Amino acid sequence: MSQTSMSQTSTAILEHRTKAAELSGGTSGNAIYSMIERVIAERGLQGRILDYGAGVGQLTRRLIALGRFQSVSATDIMAVPGDLAGKAEWMEQDLNVPLPGHDDAFDVVVAAEVIEHLENPRFMIREIFRLLRPGGTAIVTTPNNESWRSLIALLVRGHFMAFGETGYPAHITALLRQDLTRIFQEASFATPDFHFTNSGGIPGHPAVSWQQASFGLLKGLRYSDNVLAIAKKPG
């Protein structure tokens, strides 16, 4: 392939990835952000934090508002939102390729609903490992493909709930807890712990949650739309 053809191919790929990012809206749900904040508080996480795949900056703003981090940085293929310029270090970057520098730079890297958008989840976790200092913590959330809603969608429609035509091309990589465990361990992280949003739609009636229907009794793996994996880089 000629250099010109390679350049045209690279441009087309970048345009596709940018379009996919824009279609995703660059944001996640409040239940996901609340779960991340809860885990941060429970673990007493501090220092320098990177919002990896920050989208339009919703989580970045919330991390700044927590007031517990020495610095808040963010990276995404999308440009920095105007209100965040000067408040957070923003690195405009296609996350399918390495983020230049920043080896061992962060105490915490959080990737909220990012891994399902990327072409190589193993690359992403290796990249987060590189960006974390020894003893640092990775937090990764993604659609929970082991919920009743997602498993029923797989049986009835042939795909997990978040990975049908309406989710494409934003959602391209579906992962289970076993996949995430293997990927983290392959990257030399400790075995991850898992948490759940305890917020999940009922199959066929997603506007009604299991939690509403059960007065908060139904929680965890089968009744949550999203899962969080948290793992430490060895010190």
Whether 3 shows a pLDDT value over 70: the answer reads no
- Asked if residue 106 lies in contact with residue 132, where contact means CB atoms within 8 angstroms, the answer is yes
Predicted local confidence at residue 205, as pLDDT: 94
Predicted local confidence at residue 5, as pLDDT: 38
Whether 54 shows a pLDDT value over 60: the answer reads yes
Predicted local confidence at residue 6, as pLDDT: 41
- Asked if residue 65 lies in contact with residue 39, where contact means CB atoms within 8 angstroms, the answer is no
Q: Tell me the one-letter amino acid at 39.
A: V
Cα angle vertex 20, ends 15, 25, to 5°? Answer: 125
Structure tokens at 165: 């035509």
Least confident of 36-45, 163-172, 175-184: 163-172
Whether 1 shows a pLDDT value over 80: the answer reads no
CATH code of residue 29: 3.40.50.150
Total number of domains in the chain: 1
What mean pLDDT is reported for the chain?
A: 93
Structural domain span for residue 102: 3-232
pLDDT, tens only, 78-114: 999 999 999 999 999 999 999 999 999 999 999 999 9
pLDDT, tens only, 148-176: 999 999 999 999 999 999 999 999 999 99
Average pLDDT over residues 180-191: 98
Cα angle vertex 121, ends 138, 201, to 5°? Answer: 80
Structure tokens at 146: 């082991």
Predicted local confidence at residue 66, as pLDDT: 98
Q: Which of 139, 140, 136, 141 is nearest to 48 (CA)?
A: 136
Structure tokens at 94: 């296609």
- Asked if residue 20 lies in contact with residue 55, where contact means CB atoms within 8 angstroms, the answer is no
Average pLDDT over residues 30-58: 98
Whether 2 shows a pLDDT value over 70: the answer reads no
Alpha-carbon separation of residue 176 from 19, 98, 100, 170, 179 (angstroms): 26, 24, 29, 18, 5
Whether 221 shows a pLDDT value over 80: the answer reads yes
